[in-house]
């Protein structure tokens, strides 16, 4: 049935599985039956046709383009921060490290706030690039 197709083809398991009593499963079934009745179709629905119906009636089972963009942005941000963490002189928390932080935010102006913290989590220096938030971020205690 429809619920079986959804669970198997979308690899849903455990509590994520869709019950055949789910209202959207009934809507998908009704849409399939309507096509058969209205067109006289005798062939089965393809994988792509079923996926399109499931996406139409159960969009929550699919990642949106916005979700994909957020994931990509997170990956890119992680790579940028890893690049910063490999900078010479950053680990010693010296003035050179603070200068490198300022240089870094000039390279990536879309970063609103960047700070360097010690092993105890205390902020040692920071760089603010967004003038709108400068007053808020600069009020944070250093050290």
For 44-87, how does the pLDDT look when each residue is reduced to its tens digit (9 = 90+)?
Answer: 999 999 999 999 999 999 888 898 999 999 999 899 989 888 88
User: Domain total for the chain?
Assistant: 2
> Does 71 lie in the same domain as 48?
no
> Does 56 lie in the same domain as 83?
no
Q: Is the pLDDT of residue 143 over 70?
A: no
- Residue 143 within a domain: no
Q: What is the mean pLDDT of residues 111-121?
A: 85
The encoded tokens of residue 127 equal 């760089």
pLDDT on residue 92: 76
Q: Is the pLDDT of residue 89 over 80?
A: no
pLDDT on residue 33: 96
> Does 111 lie in the same domain as 46?
no
Q: Is the pLDDT of residue 127 over 80?
A: yes
Q: Per-residue confidence at 122, pLDDT binned at 50, 70, 90?
A: confident
Q: Using CB atoms within 10 Å of the CB of residue 29, give its burial: 0 to 12 exposed, 13 to 18 middle, 19+ buried.
A: middle
CB atoms within 10 A of CB 104: 19
| Inter-residue contact 120 to 112 (CB < 8 Å) | no
pLDDT on residue 109: 82
| Inter-residue contact 89 to 98 (CB < 8 Å) | no
pTM for the model stands at 0.53
pLDDT on residue 94: 75
| Inter-residue contact 58 to 24 (CB < 8 Å) | yes
> Does 90 lie in the same domain as 133?
yes
DSSP 113: E
Domain that holds residue 71: 65-138
Distances (CA, A) of 62 to 6, 7, 38, 107: 12, 13, 29, 36
pLDDT on residue 18: 95
- Residue 44 within a domain: yes
- Residue 108 within a domain: yes
Q: Is the pLDDT of residue 20 over 70?
A: yes
How many angstroms separate the CA atoms of 43 and 93, rounded? Answer: 69
Output helix, strand, coil percentages for the chain, rounded to the nearest 5.
Answer: 60, 10, 35
């Amino acid at each position: 049935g429809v619920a079986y197709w959804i669970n198997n083809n979308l690899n849903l398991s455990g509590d994520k599985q869709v019950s055949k009593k789910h209202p959207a499963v009934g809507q998908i079934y009704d849409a399939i039956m309507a096509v058969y009745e209205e067109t006289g179709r005798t062939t089965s629905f393809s994988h792509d046709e079923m996926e399109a119906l499931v996406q139409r009636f159960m969009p929550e089972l699919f990642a949106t383009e916005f979700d994909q963009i957020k994931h990509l942005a997170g990956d890119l941000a992680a790579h940028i921060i890893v690049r910063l963490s490999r900078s010479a002189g950053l680990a010693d928390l010296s003035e050179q490290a603070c200068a490198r932080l300022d240089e870094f935010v000039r390279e990536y102006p879309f970063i609103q706030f960047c700070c360097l913290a010690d092993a105890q989590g205390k902020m040692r220096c920071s760089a603010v690039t967004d003038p709108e938030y400068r007053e808020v971020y600069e009020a944070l205690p250093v050290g």
